[in-house]
Structure 1
Amino acid sequence: MKDLATQPANAGKFQNRFVTAQGETRASVPLSKPETLWFNTGTQCNIECENCYILSSPTNDALVYISTDEVNAYLDQISERGWPIREIGFTGGEPFMNPEMIDMARAALSRGFEVLILTNAMRPMMRRTMREGLIELQRLYGTQMTLRVSLDHYSRDLHDAERGAGSFAKTMTGMDWLRDTGIRTTVAGRAHFDEDEASGRAGFAALFESNGFAINAQSPAELVLFPEMDAEVEVPEITTSCWDILGKRPEDVMCASSRMVVRRKGADHPVVLACTLLPYSPEFELGETLSDAEQDVQLNHPHCAKFCVLGGASCSA
């Protein structure tokens, strides 16, 4: 897997876990308010996007399917550690490729957690067994469950340029079904199409209104617009002095409130990662248990700077 820290734009940076290229103390983030525990359901996906941060594809099984038993083991640990988790998130790959997706969601919902499932709303979600399972979960748990649909742009052409010809139409069919079924739906788009945020949100608002989607395009929780992860763009390293300079706090960064569980191909056990965006960076692997994962996270990657600190993004709802 490619290492963005060694790309030409950031050569020499992000090499030492604790010290920047200029010899300053690197900023770190403690787990101060654990709110979301993510499970990566596996890196396999029904499509291969032009710019996928996790390199998901029909053939990438670097992260294999996680199981309901493994999810339950970590849900038990939440109680044992006393983490104030409110939300369980499922991401991929495409989560509905995992045959145990419905059972895993049910395990979390039945314990009272909110559940967020990220999906492209295409064929894997639209299989009969998955639709029947979602209808049953909706009946039992209502708005406790949310599906966040990846819709890169409100225009067919720009979305399809990222995800392949015909992808927009298939995703819209899935969203129509979610609307008609009454399943709470939000959207994740991309913010790199040479338009300002206001224009982007206005375009999505028009699309949502014309299709009867009950999604507020002005709400950052209902329409998340993620910045592009461009390895060719130089980003600064975040030092301890940056917090005051930027007017931000460590507790505002995503790794202060979340962790992600993955199962690597060939591994005996799942492991816990500091960040949903860095599944292949070994320095962000914290151990096998939630207890292991309570350590501070050094912001030693370009994504830490561009996406989380400077961009202020969050994968949670």
Structure 2
Amino acid sequence: MATAPAPVPSPFRDPEARPLDPAKFRDPHVTAKGERRASVSLRRLETLWLNTGTLCNLACASCYIESSPRNDALVYLSLAEAEVYLDEAAALGTREIGFTGGEPFMNPDAPAMIAAALARGFEVLVLTNAMRPMRRFEAQLKPLAGPKLTMRVSLDHHSAAVHEAERGAGTWPKALDGLKWLAANGFRVAVAGRRLPGESEVDARAGYARLFAVEGLDLAGGLVLFPPMDVHADVPEITEACWGILHLSPDAMMCASSRMVVKPRGADQPHVVACTLLPYDPQFALGETLAGAAGAVMLNHPHCARFCVLGGASCSG
């Protein structure tokens, strides 16, 4: 009887990191030490994310949303469903619409949703691996190229070996080919990368700069560099006092300016969640309308600390 292959360890997991303390992130209002947990209020809805579904053509070693060719925990958002939120966002003065997944182009309505967002005057950001799902829509995408649309391509590292250790054998040349197709066809292109544990931001940016120079890529959208995001590693809880200690403002956090629309499998209609990183946790579900999703968000999840507060990262453009 055949056995399933062992999971491939992610190169972004730090083997020396302490495991997450199970006593943390249990009470939405109080930390494990009994301190008042920090919260973030929505300052203004600058970016509305539409999650097109969790299906992906890849099964990466580490994916915060667990996307894969088999995970349909979030089902495809339809054009009609998306347009309801696009209209509400337009009325609220939202600047940007982001599309994420899964791989957004697994969803057959993805090009039409992008076109609908552009037609309403939004800036549009699409997160894609630029592989086969995207390439099947070349004819539909070409007319959409312009300064309002940014295609952000995921290259998990500036080296092929690390990228393929995370995303699978053969993914590096396909991603680069898709990236070059976008650049050659007039798209505003950005790259999303990650730092390895122990790799400095200076070294990581230098590595990507060398790669872009070798490949002849001049990316108008630039490079967005994310922290390693080891979901197994311990991380401090964020208290109200942390804003002063870290010299940070809660207004700078992602959930102060963005929300995401998701449609869980079996749901009659989509709903709004606080964060692109937390589509499954019910404590971050905020209702079915954007107007009803304006409440404060308690930072009661490790991602709040490792990605936003301490990692200094944001998914938005």
TM-score normalized with structure 2 length:
0.92
Q: 1:213 to 1:88 in 2, by over 3 A?
A: same
CA distance in 2, matches of 1:193, 1:85: 35
The answer for the alignment partner of 1:108 in structure 2 is: 117
Moved more, 106-115 or 228-237: 228-237
The answer for the alignment partner of 1:27 in structure 2 is: 38
* Aligned mate of 2:152, from 134, 148, 170: 148
The answer for the alignment partner of 1:37 in structure 2 is: 48
Please say if residues 33 and 251 of structure 1, whose CA atoms lie closer than 8 Å, have aligned partners that are also in contact. Answer: no
Q: 1:95 to 1:229 in 2, by over 3 A?
A: same
Deviation at 1:104, TM superposition (A): 0.1
Please say if residues 95 and 118 of structure 1, whose CA atoms lie closer than 8 Å, have aligned partners that are also in contact. Answer: yes
CA distance in 1, matches of 2:96, 2:232: 34
Count matched residues: 300
The answer for the alignment partner of 1:62 in structure 2 is: 73
Amino acid paired to 2:41? P
The answer for the alignment partner of 2:242 in structure 1 is: 242
The answer for the alignment partner of 2:306 in structure 1 is: 306
CA distance in 2, matches of 1:194, 1:8: 17
Deviation at 1:292, TM superposition (A): 1.6
* Larger helix share, 1 or 2: 1
The answer for the alignment partner of 2:15 in structure 1 is: none
Q: Percent identity?
A: 58
The answer for the alignment partner of 2:107 in structure 1 is: 98
CA distance in 2, matches of 1:8, 1:152: 23
Deviation at 1:8, TM superposition (A): 5.0
The answer for the alignment partner of 1:167 in structure 2 is: 171
CA distance in 2, matches of 1:67, 1:162: 30
Structure 1: which 4+ aligned runs deviate by more than 4 Å? none
CA distance in 2, matches of 1:78, 1:155: 39
User: Can you list the C-alpha shifts for 1:12-51, whole angstroms capped at 9, x where unaligned?
Assistant: 1111111111111111100002110000000000010001
Structure 2: gaps spanning 5 or more residues = 1-17
CA distance in 2, matches of 1:256, 1:156: 35
CA distance in 2, matches of 1:283, 1:205: 40
SS of 1:234 mapped into structure 2: coil
Deviation at 1:94, TM superposition (A): 0.3
SS of 2:130 mapped into structure 1: coil
Amino acid paired to 1:250? P
SS of 1:49 mapped into structure 2: coil
Deviation at 1:194, TM superposition (A): 3.8
Deviation at 1:289, TM superposition (A): 0.7
CA distance in 1, matches of 2:223, 2:182: 16
* Aligned mate of 1:204, from 188, 198, 208: 208
CA distance in 1, matches of 2:62, 2:257: 26
Q: 1:238 to 1:194 in 2, by over 3 A?
A: closer
Please say if residues 90 and 120 of structure 2, whose CA atoms lie closer than 8 Å, have aligned partners that are also in contact. Answer: no
SS of 1:267 mapped into structure 2: coil
Structure 1: gaps spanning 5 or more residues = 1-6
